[in-house]
Amino acid sequence: MTAAQLLAYITVAVLLQVVAGAAFAVWRRPSTAGAPPPAGVDEAVDSATGAWSGWRDFRVVRREFEDAAKTQCSFHLQPVDGARLVPFQPGQYLTFSLKLPNGGRALTRCYSLSDRPDPTGYRITIKRVPPPADRPELPPGVSSGHFHDRVHEGDVLQVKAPSGHFFIDPNASVPAVFIAGGIGITPMMSMLRWCVAEQPERLVHLYYGVRSSGDHAFKQVLEELAAAHPAFKLNVVYGNPEAEDVQARDYQHAGYIDLELLRRTLPHGRHQFYVCGPPPMMQSLVPALREWGVQADDIHFEAFGPASVRPLGSATNEPLAITSAAMDVRFTRSGRTLAWDGQDANLLDFAERHDLAVDSGCRSGSCGACQTRLLSGTVSYADKPDHDIPKGHCLLCVGKPQSALVLEA
């Protein structure tokens, strides 16, 4: 063997070892469809209670469609560490950190828990979001498309503990009225499943509005629950039934959920209302309930996007007044000082309009993704955000400056 041949053999052997080592490392790594926990945020699980702070790894153990059109998909999740889960309040949501294949910053999104508490696993149900009907040229929803197209059984996702203030009052015994539009059914499924299991005597009315049988999610399970529990009154409302849809078999009412329908079908007396649906439904129904005489304390609602309903107790649903006085907002990390002139709905829109890179997720004060250190000044909120804001911080997506600000962003 010549020296050149020996050198070639040694080089090939070393290369083979490197390739084998790399392949082993890849094989050992769990499949992950989400982001690695963001730097500085750790997973600290209390094994006694199942509570955790920061991000925790969950594996997708099952996925299944809930509607005939296959636009609403449930994902069943179990903790990778195998420890028990913190019980949540039915109606709460999980926050996800998603790493998309195109690289870039992790995406934060919230999804409501769609089943009653179970110490071994969680379920969420996600609707694929298309481009707006009047802007078909826009890209479809990023996170919902990612879940539908790329999150499979066995994948691992990074998840924050359940949170949110929209949940069933466990101590109340007055009848509950759940009003859901479209994918707003998810928190209602959780509350409903909890009610029939824990308070089987309590009267529960569900009003669930969809277009037709195509996007009627959880159809079979809702019908089975209604048949098994006399205290559960099912009212499915189709806005645009298909030719083969049959009233009294597939749905109870044609049209939309409005005050007239509630007046006609609800018995007299006090009820607690829980409302979740698209902006037009929320904007009309929530104030209508107040006008009907329902106490503000008996109306609970959640929007799945930028806040669409004025805080209860305010006289009208008019947009909040725009602050006209110009104020300086200094962003220390990017080194820019911009003049707030009141034309933006919130500090997040303001920052984005000026091409500042700031994190965001729900855009409705729920997930905490836009939380920013407030170095000086005062930020005001039209309504108390769902996310608990630590001292010295603010939420950009629902906050407006009350004075000149210095923000660490």
Ligand X SMILES: Cc1cc2nc3c(=O)[nH]c(=O)nc-3n(C[C@H](O)[C@H](O)[C@H](O)COP(=O)(O)OP(=O)(O)OC[C@H]3O[C@@H](n4cnc5c(N)ncnc54)[C@H](O)[C@@H]3O)c2cc1C
379/295 Cα distance (integer angstroms)? 29
Closest CA to 344 of 329, 366, 362: 329
Whole-angstrom distance, CA of residue 183 vs CA of residue 181: 6
Segment interacting with ligand X (CB under 6 A) among 75-83, 135-143, 198-206, 400-408: 135-143
Alpha-carbon span 73 to 82, nearest angstrom: 24
131 binds ligand X per the rule CB under 6 A? yes
Q: Which does 266 bind (CB under 5 to 8 A by kind): ligand X, ligand FES, none?
A: none
Nearer to ligand FES, 62 or 384 (CB): 384
Nearer to ligand FES, 285 or 395 (CB): 395
370 forms part of the interface with ligand FES (CB under 6 A): yes
Q: How far is the CB of 107 from ligand X (least distance, A)?
A: 7
Q: Which does 138 bind (CB under 5 to 8 A by kind): ligand FES, ligand X, none?
A: ligand X
Stretch in the footprint of ligand FES (CB under 6 A) among 129-137, 151-159, 181-189, 365-373: 365-373
Assess 69 for contact with ligand X (CB under 6 A): no
Rounded to the nearest 10 degrees, the angle between the axes of helix 185-198 and helix 219-228 is 30
End-to-end CA distance of the chain: 64
Measured from each CB, the residue nearest to ligand X is 141
The nearest distance, CB 154 to ligand X, in angstroms, is: 22
3 state DSSP class of 123 = strand
Angle, alpha carbons 57-59-64 (nearest 5°): 140
Exactly one of 362, 374, 394, 396 binds ligand X (CB under 6 A); which one? 362
Residue keyed to tokens 């299991």: 197
What is the 3 state secondary structure string of 210-245? ECCHHHCCCHHHHHHHHHHCCCEEEEEEECCCCCCC
Interacting partner of 127 out of ligand FES, ligand X, none (Cβ under 5 to 8 A depending on kind): ligand X
| Binding status of residue 129 toward ligand X by CB under 6 A | yes
x/- mask, ligand X, residues 364-383, rule CB under 6 A, reads: x-x-----------------
CA distance 302 to 282: 9
What's the rounded Cα separation, in Å, for the pair 79 and 71? Answer: 26
Distances (CA, A) of 111 to 26, 55, 127, 195, 269: 30, 15, 10, 21, 33
Minimum distance, C-beta of residue 67 to ligand X, in the bound complex (Å):
12
Q: Interacting stretch for ligand FES, rule CB under 6 A, among 23-31, 218-226, 312-320, 357-365?
A: 357-365
Residue 140 corresponds to which amino acid? P
C-beta closer to ligand X: residue 71 or 272? 71
362 contributes a contact to ligand FES by CB under 6 A: yes
Q: Should residue 363 be labelled a site residue for ligand FES when binding is judged by CB under 6 A?
A: yes
Select from 21, 36, 132, 280 the one that contacts ligand X (CB under 6 A). Answer: 132
Q: How far is the CB of 274 from ligand FES (least distance, A)?
A: 21
Count of CB atoms within 10 A of residue 342's CB? 15
Among 74, 144, 158, 346, binds ligand X (CB under 6 A): 144
Q: Which of 329, 395, 405, 407 binds ligand FES (CB under 6 A)?
A: 395
Other CB atoms within 10 A of residue 349 CB:
16
Count Cβ neighbours within 10 Å for each residue of 352-368 and write b for 16 or more, e otherwise: eeeebebbbbbbbbbbb
- The DSSP output letter for 184 is G
Residue nearest to ligand FES (CB): 397
- Within 145-184, which residues bind ligand X (CB under 6 A)? 145, 164, 183
81, 57 contact by CB (below 8 A) = yes
Answer yes or no whether residue 110 interacts with ligand X by CB under 6 A. yes
DSSP state of 399: E
Select from ligand X, ligand FES, none the partner in contact with residue 370, using the beta carbon and a kind-dependent cut-off of 5 to 8 Å.
ligand FES
Span of 128-136, 167-175, 247-255, 360-368 interacting with ligand FES by CB under 6 A: 360-368
Cα-to-chain-centroid distance, residue 62: 19
The candidate with the shortest Cα–Cα distance to 56, out of 12, 16, 95, 20, is 95
Other CB atoms within 10 A of residue 212 CB: 18
One residue of 367, 379, 394, 405 binding ligand FES per CB under 6 A? 367
Site residue total, ligand X (CB under 6 A)? 29
- The footprint of ligand FES (CB under 6 A) covers 360-363, 365-370, 387, 395, 397
- The footprint of ligand X (CB under 6 A) covers 93, 109-112, 124-127, 129, 131-132, 138-145, 164, 183, 186, 302, 304-305, 362, 364, 366
